[in-house]
């Protein structure tokens, strides 16, 4: 199994998984009172349950959240990110787990972001996403 340079998966397992949420319906929705919902929120809740973790949600714009992941303040960032998002220099993206249709009719691959070097978390999350999508 790959290892995390900062031990994120070990820390989060049985503890707290810190997840950043950028609004991008239907993947993520941030309510007026800060509540979060959406397809990716549901996925993260299922993932966290599988590692016996409680989620600490942080909402904000993609640029702020991606910087927080890079700095180790967040473990995962979600928000309908696409594989061609400009944050590849600050966060590591999972393999695509679904697609979305853009307004121009083209499609894009949807990913989640983690801190670079947290390879055990990345692999564990990717395996979860693959199982959820019925790929394995």
SS3 assignment, position 69:
helix
4-31 tens-digit pLDDT: 788 899 999 999 999 999 999 999 999 9
Q: Which helix (H) or strand (E) holds 92?
A: strand 92-93
For 95, list phi and psi in degrees, rounded to 5.
Answer: -65, 150
Tell me how long the chain is. Answer: 136
Between CA 5 and CA 117 the distance in angstroms is: 5
pLDDT at res. 51: 98
Answer yes or no: is pLDDT of 40 > 90: yes
For 28, list phi and psi in degrees, rounded to 5.
Answer: -145, 135
Domains and CATH numbers, the chain: 8-132 (3.40.190.10)
Answer yes or no: is pLDDT of 2 > 80: no
The 10 Å Cβ neighbour count of residue 67 is: 18
Pick from 64, 58, 71: which is nearest to 21 by CA?
Answer: 58
66-116 tens-digit pLDDT: 999 999 999 999 999 998 888 878 899 999 999 988 889 999 999 999 999
Residue 26 vs residue 134, higher pLDDT: 26
pLDDT at res. 1: 60
User: What secondary structure letter does DSSP report for 6?
Assistant: S
């Amino acid at each position: 199994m790959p290892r995390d340079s900062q031990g994120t998966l070990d820390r989060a397992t049985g503890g707290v998984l810190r997840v950043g949420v950028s609004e991008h319906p239907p993947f993520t929705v941030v309510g007026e009172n800060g509540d979060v919902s959406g397809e990716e929120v549901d996925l993260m809740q299922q993932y966290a349950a599988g590692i016996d973790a409680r989620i600490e949600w942080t909402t904000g714009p993609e640029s702020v959240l991606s910087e927080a992941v890079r700095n180790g303040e967040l473990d995962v960032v979600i928000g309908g990110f696409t594989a061609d998002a400009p944050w590849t220099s600050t966060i590591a993206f999972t393999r695509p787990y679904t697609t979305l249709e853009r307004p121009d009719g083209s499609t894009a691959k949807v990913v989640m972001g983690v801190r670079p070097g947290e390879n055990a978390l990345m692999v564990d999350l990717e395996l979860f996403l693959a199982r959820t999508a019925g790929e394995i």
